Amino acid sequence: MPDAVRALAPAKINLTLHVTGQRADGYHLLDSLVVFTEAGDGLTLADGPGLSLDLTGPAAAALAVEPDNLVLRAARAVGASRAAFTLDKRLPVASGMGGGSSDAAAALKLLAGRGFAPPDTAGLMRLGADLPVCMAAPAPCRMRGLGEAVEPLAGVPALWLLLVNPGQGLSTPAVFKALSRRDNPPMPEVLPRWSDDRALAEWLAAGRNDLEPPARGIMPGIGDLLAGLAAQPGCLLARMTGSGATCFGIFAGEGALQDAARALAAPGRFVLATRSLPSAR
């Protein structure tokens, strides 16, 4: 019997998220700069008599074990039938950090170590639009199209990140439905190499998350989180990730990051001080 193996399913952070169009079938076109963090969910794979998933961790109660859970769907997609997964669910559900997709990508990577070839890009997209970029984790990436066009990026430094979620989920379809403009400008075709975190934060300030305004309209508390982050000493940039409701602040150093984490802690909130993973070169 093979030994149990474990993988991190890191949080996905959209440093930018430009909505650049909408196809006739209703799907939206995106242009996003994505990084992954040192923190996330943990997934363990062991041999089992069938396909199963056990849940542990502080966010486990919010994630029901159902036949369409992404970890199980990913395993079925590659034909794995004797796999016992345990998911240590630490990231909030429906929080804009790609938790479910990152969990599924971790499952596919663990299964690849046991001889199950991952699906092609079309197969990944059938599991979810964030699967291709999560399969590229932990490399910083540019994600375009519907999510299928993923380009690993050089020159992205590590960032001290404070992640704050109000403790409420936010529906991605509802946020897209509330979007007022769907043909916004993309990022520049050629992205620079940033010398350090301050240079990247300064460049990001000219970018956007086009889903932030509709998300704030649905959940006004997002604006309070962003204002709270921006007001902290050492905060270089405050923005929402994905379709929300998690917001992030980029901080000038670990000391300022930890001070902000203590200042913004509140009952019911998810507050996580972490660091993003840089480019390999």
State the catalytic residues. 12, 130
Of 90, 88, 12, whose CA–CA distance to 43 is shortest? Answer: 88
∠ Cα 114 118 120 (to 5°): 165
Contacts for 233 with CB less than 8 Å, ≥ 6 apart: 256, 259, 260
Of 194, 222, 221, whose CA–CA distance to 206 is shortest? Answer: 194
Are 240 and 222 contacting, i.e. CB atoms less than 8 angstroms apart? yes
Of 134, 164, 162, whose CA–CA distance to 7 is shortest? Answer: 134
∠ Cα 276 158 128 (to 5°): 35
Strands 247-251 and 235-240: antiparallel
